[in-house]
Amino acid sequence: MKVTVVGAGAVGASCAEYIAMKNFAAEVVLVDIKEGFAEGKAMDLMQTASLNGFDTKITGTTGDYSKTAGSKVAVITSGIPRKPGMTREELIGINAGIVKEVTANLVKHSPDVIIIVVSNPMDTMAYLVHKTSGLPKNKIIGMGGALDSARFKYRLAEALECPISDVDGMVIAAHSDTGMLPLMSKATRNGVPVTEFLDAEKQAYVEEETKVGGATLTKLLGTSAWYAPGAAVSVMVQSILCDHKKMIPCSLMLDGEYGQSDICLGVPAIIGANGVEKIVEIALTDAEKEKFETAAKAVREVNGDLKF
């Protein structure tokens, strides 16, 4: 099956690389607006095929969406990352225009496509795709929770001084420094609540480092991260193409779930061949409910800056 990745920059190329390395897709089409860029990234990646042992065909195009026709999944990574001194409104203005145009092109050539939205501010960009694409809501999935949960597990394992494969945990609500909600009450180490191992101070450290995980990397790298975002997307794409029905926290259009409607927020969901197969409602503590509501309020304010 064919997967399109729009934006052949840091995150888009990483998505293409992880998808190809896992060898579950027939073809990955990279699209970029920069002349020759997607073609170059595709060629470079294809020259790793014999070295890394994958058969996925990777092609690139400068904006020719006819090459994306018949895609089962399309990933939108096109847009600019947040830079110091830039207002939220400016970021939304630039990325919303790009995401809207890209969505129209994708749907024109692949009317049954499932779209994974990565561009930031992601919860608002996912909302924009819902409002402009005409696609059913099970076919639009924002990527944030998969990445933030991986960062949560990284920090949990660090604090517990144990292998990452021993820990489990999930981050829901908004994909933002303040709106992320790492569910400490439900995190486990081999089935045992982590709260039995970590005191309040260590729990607060893990939560805070998870929430600023992206900002920490942006400071170190001078730009936002790409390996973990690309890997997170590849897990979501694989769950759709292989119908794995994995439970993954994603930014989804809510219709009463978690007490919210007409907003995209991170919640756990079963992701399979039909895209979003089921939103899973887990019981939140009163404190978690309050944080979820605060995150929703902040995302609604950003959504208010959208112009359709």
Site residues for ligand NAI per CB under 6 A: 6-12, 31-34, 37, 77-81, 95, 98, 101-102, 118-120, 122, 143-144, 147, 175, 223-226, 229
Say if CB 72 and CB 2 are below 8 A apart. yes
Residue whose C-beta lies closest to ligand NAI: 9
* DSSP at 143: -
Burial 172-183 (b: 16+ CB within 10 A, else e): bbbbbeebbbbb
Closest C-alpha among 210, 222, 286 to residue 249: 210
Using CA atoms, how far apart are residues 171 and 303, in angstroms rounded to an integer?
Answer: 21
In the complex with ligand NAI, the residue whose CB is nearer, 74 or 279, is 74
Q: Which is nearer to ligand NAI, 30 or 157 (CB)?
A: 30
Question: Measured between alpha carbons, how far is 138 from 228 in angstroms, rounded to an integer?
Answer: 24
Nearest to 283 by CA among 183, 213, 211, 204: 183
Give the shortest CB-276-to-ligand NAI separation in angstroms. Answer: 17
Least separation in angstroms between CB 192 and ligand NAI: 29
Phi/psi for 8 (5° steps) reads -105, 25
DSSP 297: H
Minimum Å distance from CB 94 to ligand NAI? 9
Q: In this complex, which beta carbon is closest to ligand NAI, that of residue 121 or of residue 275?
A: 121
- The residue among 53 and 222 lying less far from ligand NAI, judged by its C-beta, is 222
Contact 304, 273 (CB under 8 A): no
206 neighbors 156 (Cβ within 8 angstroms)? yes
Sign of the dihedral defined by the CA atoms of residues 269, 170, 123, 144, in that order: negative
Residues forming the active site: 175
* Minimum distance, C-beta of residue 117 to ligand NAI, in the bound complex (Å): 8
Judged by beta carbon, residue 170 or residue 198, the one nearer ligand NAI is: 170
Q: How far is the CB of 115 from ligand NAI (least distance, A)?
A: 13
CA distance 220 to 213: 11
Which is it for strands 192-193 and 188-189: parallel, antiparallel or unpaired?
Answer: antiparallel
